[in-house]
C-alpha cells in the first residue's frame, strides 16, 4: 500500500516541486544578483534589489495596488451580498441562479475584459450612442483610468465573492430572522445585526478570494487601465520585458508573494481549514 | 423588501451578462464601427480567413488538449492518493499554487526555463507552454476529483480487497468507474482554463507558439476590430458549452 500510494502522489508532487517551488527558488536567487549591462544578471551578490523596493516610487505603486484591490473587494462585497442572499432564498431554482453567476466566470476572463473595452473605448458603444443622441460633443474618457480598472476587477471577480457568501447564507437558520422580527427588529435591522455577523466567515473567505487576485492582477489593469495605471502586476511584468531588470523584478514578485502568503496565513489561522 | 431584492438581482444579472451579449450582437454588424448597419457574417468569414488567428487557434487547441490530458491523469491519481491518506504538505502546496498571482507564476516559470536552457539546447515554444499549463491545471483537477471521492464509501474498496482483488484492481474496477464523470468534469474545466490563459502563456511562449488569447490580446489593444468580437463570441459559446457539460457531469 505504501508503495502504491507513493506512485499515486509522486507525479503531482514532482510537478509541484519542479514547476512551482524550484522556479520560485530561482527567483529568490535572481533577486540577490546584480543586473548586467545587457539585461542579464550576475555577480556580485547584493541586497540592493530589496532595498530599492523601499523607494517611495515603488512603495507608492504597492499602496495604489492595495487601494485598488481594497476598493474592488469592498464593491464586490456590497454588490454581492444582496445577490448571495437572493440566491440563498431562491428555493428550488437556486442552482440555476448560482450557475448564472458562475457561468461567465468560467468561460473566458480575457473576453469578459475585452467586452468592457468594447463598451468603454472612445469609439465604443457608450460613446457612440451618446454622441449619436447628441448628449455629448466629444467622446468621454471612460477607458484607461482607475475607474475602468476597478470596474473590470469587480466584473471579473464578483463570482468569487458570491460563492462563499452563498455557502454561508444558505446554511443560515431562518428561524433566527423570525425571532429577531418577533423581538421587534425591522427587516433591515435583522439583516444588519443578525445575518451579517453570522455571515462573517463567508465575508472573510470572499474578501480574501477577491483581494488576492485583484492585488496581483495584470491583465485587467493593462487592458482597461492602459499605460496610465501602473500597479504592481504591471511593474513586475515591465521588469521582465521592457526594462529587462530581472533581479529587481524577482524581488518585487517575491514581495507580492509574501503579502499574499501573509493574508492567507491570517485566514487559515482564523479557520482551521484548507481550500483543498 | 422581497420585490426590491428581486429587482436588484435582475439588475445585477444584466450587469453580468449584457456586456457579453452586446459584444456578440455587434459581431454580426455589417459596419466596422459601433453603429448597427445590418446583419452580416463578414467578420466571421474574415476571422476564418485570417492565417494568424487560425494558426493561433490550432496552437491553443493542441496546448489545451495535451496539457489537459497530462493534468487530468496526474491530478486524478493525486486526488486518489490524498483521499486514501491526506498529505498536508502536498495539499497546502497545491493551494499555494492556486493563489499565487499569475504574473508571479509566469515570470518564475520563465526564469526557470531560461535557467534550464543553459544546460539544454532548447528554447521557449509549445512544450514550455504545455509544461506551464500542466503545472497550474493540476490543482483544479485535484479539487474537482477529490470533492467527488469524499462522497464515496471507502467500504466498497475494502469489500473488493476482502474478495481477493489487489489494490490496483480495486482502484481500476471499483473506484475508477464511479469516478469517471468527475474526472471528465475536471478535464473539461482544465481545458477551459488552459485555453483561456493569457498572462502565464504570453511569458513562456516562443515566437512559434502564439496562442489565440495572445493574438486577441494584441488585436484588442491595437484598437476597435469587429473580428475580435466574432472570435470572442465563438470562444464564449464554445467554452460555455464545455462548462455547462462539466457542471452537469459534476452534479450527476
Reported confidence tier of residue B194, pLDDT bands at 50, 70, 90:
very high
CATH of domain B51-251: 1.10.3720.10
Q: Looking at the complex, does the CB of residue A185 fall below 8 Å from at least one CB of chain B?
A: no
Residue B223: the pLDDT is 79
Q: Give the nearest partner residue to B107 out of A13, A99, A236, using CB atoms.
A: A236
Residue A142: the pLDDT is 87
Query: Per-residue pLDDT for A195 more than 90?
Result: no
C-alpha to C-alpha distance for B26 and A275, rounded to whole angstroms: 40
Residue A107: the pLDDT is 81
Residue A1: the pLDDT is 55
φ, ψ for residue B50, nearest 5 deg: -80, 110
The pTM of this model reads 0.90
Residue B167: the pLDDT is 82
- Chains A, B: CB contacts within 8 A come to 237
On the 0-12 / 13-18 / 19+ scale of CB atoms within 10 A, A201 is middle
Residue A222: CB atoms within 10 Å: 22
The nearest CA of chain B is from the CA of A103 a distance in Å of 7
C-alpha to C-alpha distance for B26 and B32, rounded to whole angstroms: 9
Q: Where are the domains of chain A?
A: 69-229
Residue A250: the pLDDT is 94
Average pLDDT, chain B: 91
Q: Which three cell numbers stand for residue B214?
A: 495572445
pLDDT in tens, A209-235: 999 999 999 999 999 998 777 899 999
Cβ–Cβ below 8 Å for B224 and A123: yes
Rounded to 10 deg, the angle between the B226-251 and A109-120 helix axes is: 140
Cα–Cα separations (whole angstroms), residue B58 to B65, B126, B135, B211, B243: 11, 11, 21, 8, 20
Contacts of B92 in chain A (CB under 8 A): 274, 276
Residue B83 neighbours by CB under 8 Å, 6+ apart: B146, B149, B150, B152
The nearest CA of chain B is from the CA of A90 a distance in Å of 10
Residue A39: the pLDDT is 63
Q: Give the nearest partner residue to B232 out of A111, A223, A250, using CB atoms.
A: A111
pLDDT in tens, B62-74: 999 999 999 999 9
Contacts of A101 in chain B (CB under 8 A): 16
Cβ–Cβ below 8 Å for B247 and A9: no
A155 versus B3: the higher-pLDDT residue is: A155
Residue B225: the pLDDT is 86
pLDDT in tens, B143-167: 999 999 999 888 888 898 899 888 8
Query: Per-residue pLDDT for A167 more than 70?
Result: yes
* Percent of chain A's residues with pLDDT above 70: 95
Residue B2: the pLDDT is 77
Average pLDDT, chain A: 87
A157 versus B34: the higher-pLDDT residue is: A157
Cβ–Cβ below 8 Å for B243 and A107: yes
Query: Per-residue pLDDT for A143 more than 70?
Result: yes
C-alpha to C-alpha distance for B70 and B68, rounded to whole angstroms: 5
DSSP label at residue B39 = B
Q: Is the peptide bond before A44 cis (omega within 30 degrees of 0)?
A: yes
pLDDT in tens, A95-142: 889 989 988 888 889 999 999 999 998 888 888 888 888 888 888 888
Contacts of B74 in chain A (CB under 8 A): 11-12, 15
Query: Per-residue pLDDT for A275 more than 70?
Result: no
Q: Which three cell numbers stand for residue B194?
A: 488552459
Reported confidence tier of residue B32, pLDDT bands at 50, 70, 90:
confident
B38 versus A15: the higher-pLDDT residue is: A15
Q: Where are the domains of chain B?
A: 1-40, 51-251
Which one, of A161, A276, A259, lies nearest residue A210 by Cα? Answer: A161
Complex confidence, ipTM: 0.90
Residue B196 neighbours by CB under 8 Å, 6+ apart: A107, A108, A109, A110, A111, B213, B235, B239
Residue B80: the pLDDT is 92
Residue A180: the pLDDT is 78
φ, ψ for residue A35, nearest 5 deg: -70, 135
What is the dihedral angle through the alpha carbons of B203, A144, A159, B140, rounded to the nearest 10 degrees?
0
Residue B103: the pLDDT is 94
CATH of domain A69-229: 1.10.3720.10
Kindly state the average pLDDT of the residues B174-182. Answer: 91
Q: Which of A7, A107, A228, A249 to mutate to test the interface with B (most CBs of B within 10 A)?
A: A107
Q: Looking at the complex, does the CB of residue A101 fall below 8 Å from at least one CB of chain B?
A: yes
Cα–Cα separations (whole angstroms), residue A129 to A123, B221, B231: 10, 22, 24
Task: List A41's β-bridge partners, or say none.
Answer: A35
Out of A69-83, A84-98, A119-133, the most confident range is: A69-83
Reported confidence tier of residue B171, pLDDT bands at 50, 70, 90:
confident
φ, ψ for residue B2, nearest 5 deg: -70, -40
Residue B16: CB atoms within 10 Å: 20
Q: Is B164 left (phi over 0), alpha (psi -120 to 50) or beta?
A: left
Query: Per-residue pLDDT for A170 more than 90?
Result: no
What is the dihedral angle through the alpha carbons of A20, B211, A237, B200, rounded to the nearest 10 degrees?
-20
Residue B247: the pLDDT is 84
Residue B55: the pLDDT is 94
* Percent of chain B's residues with pLDDT above 90: 63
Which one, of B169, B174, B170, B149, lies nearest residue B85 by Cα? Answer: B149
Kindly state the average pLDDT of the residues B176-196. Answer: 93
Residue B172: the pLDDT is 87
Amino acid at each position: 500500500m505504501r508503495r502504491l500510494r507513493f506512485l499515486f502522489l509522486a507525479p503531482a508532487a514532482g510537478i509541484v516541486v519542479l514547476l512551482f517551488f524550484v522556479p520560485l527558488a530561482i527567483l529568490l536567487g535572481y533577486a540577490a544578483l546584480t543586473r548586467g549591462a545587457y539585461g542579464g544578471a550576475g555577480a556580485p551578490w547584493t541586497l540592493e534589489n530589496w532595498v530599492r523596493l523601499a523607494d517611495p516610487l515603488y512603495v507608492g505603486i504597492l499602496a495604489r495596488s492595495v487601494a485598488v484591490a481594497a476598493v474592488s473587494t469592498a464593491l464586490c462585497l456590497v454588490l454581492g451580498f444582496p445577490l448571495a442572499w437572493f440566491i440563498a432564498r431562491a428555493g428550488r431554482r437556486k442552482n440555476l441562479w448560482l450557475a448564472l453567476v458562475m457561468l461567465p466566470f468560467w468561460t473566458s476572463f480575457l473576453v469578459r475584459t475585452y467586452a468592457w473595452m468594447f463598451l468603454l473605448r472612445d469609439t465604443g458603444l457608450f460613446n457612440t450612442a451618446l454622441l449619436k443622441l447628441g448628449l455629448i460633443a466629444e467622446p468621454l474618457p471612460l477607458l484607461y483610468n482607475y475607474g475602468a480598472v476597478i470596474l473590470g476587477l469587480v466584473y471579473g471577480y464578483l463570482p468569487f465573492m458570491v460563492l462563499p457568501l452563498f455557502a454561508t447564507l444558505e446554511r443560515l437558520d431562518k428561524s433566527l430572522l423570525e425571532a429577531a422580527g418577533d423581538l421587534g427588529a425591522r427587516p433591515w435591522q435583522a439583516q444588519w445585526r443578525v445575518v451579517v455577523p453570522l455571515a462573517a466567515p463567508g465575508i472573510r473567505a470572499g474578501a480574501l478570494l477577491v483581494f488576492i487576485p485583484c492585488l496581483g492582477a495584470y491583465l485587467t489593469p493593462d487592458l482597461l487601465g492602459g499605460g496610465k495605471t501602473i500597479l504592481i502586476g504591471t511593474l513586475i511584468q515591465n521588469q521582465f520585458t521592457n526594462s529587462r531588470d530581472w533581479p529587481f523584478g524577482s524581488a518585487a514578485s517575491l514581495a507580492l508573494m509574501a503579502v499574499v502568503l501573509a493574508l492567507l496565513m491570517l485566514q487559515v489561522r482564523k479557520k482551521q481549514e484548507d481550500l483543498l | 423588501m422581497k420585490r426590491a431584492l428581486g429587482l436588484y438581482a435582475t439588475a445585477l444579472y444584466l450587469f453580468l451578462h449584457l456586456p457579453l451579449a452586446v459584444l456578440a450582437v455587434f459581431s454580426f454588424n455589417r459596419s466596422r464601427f459601433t453603429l448597427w448597419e445590418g446583419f452580416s457574417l463578414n467578420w466571421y468569414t474574415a476571422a476564418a480567413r485570417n492565417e494568424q488567428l487560425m494558426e493561433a487557434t490550432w496552437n491553443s487547441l493542441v496546448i489545451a488538449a495535451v496539457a489537459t490530458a497530462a493534468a487530468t491523469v496526474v491530478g486524478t491519481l493525486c486526488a486518489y492518493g490524498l483521499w486514501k491518506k491526506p498529505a498536508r504538505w502536498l495539499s497546502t502546496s497545491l493551494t499555494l499554487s492556486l493563489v499565487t498571482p499569475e504574473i508571479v507564476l509566469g515570470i518564475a516559470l520563465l526564469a526557470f526555463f531560461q535557467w534550464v536552457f543553459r544546460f539544454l539546447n532548447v528554447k521557449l515554444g509549445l512544450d514550455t507552454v504545455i509544461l506551464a499549463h500542466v503545472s497550474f491545471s493540476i490543482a483544479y483537477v485535484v479539487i474537482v476529483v477529490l470533492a467527488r471521492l469524499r462522497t464515496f464509501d471507502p467500504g466498497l474498496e475494502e469489500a473488493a480487497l476482502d474478495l481477493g482483488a489487489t489494490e490496483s484492481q480495486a482502484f481500476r474496477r471499483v473506484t475508477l468507474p464511479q469516478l469517471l464523470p468527475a474526472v471528465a468534469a475536471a478535464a473539461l474545466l482544465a481545458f477551459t482554463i488552459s485555453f483561456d490563459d493569457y498572462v502565464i502563456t504570453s511569458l513562456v511562449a516562443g515566437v512559434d507558439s502564439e496562442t489565440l488569447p495572445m493574438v486577441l490580446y494584441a488585436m484588442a489593444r491595437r484598437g476597435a476590430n469587429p473580428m475580435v468580437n466574432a472570435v470572442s463570441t465563438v470562444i464564449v459559446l464554445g467554452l460555455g458549452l464545455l462548462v455547462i457539460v462539466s457542471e452537469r457531469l459534476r452534479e450527476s
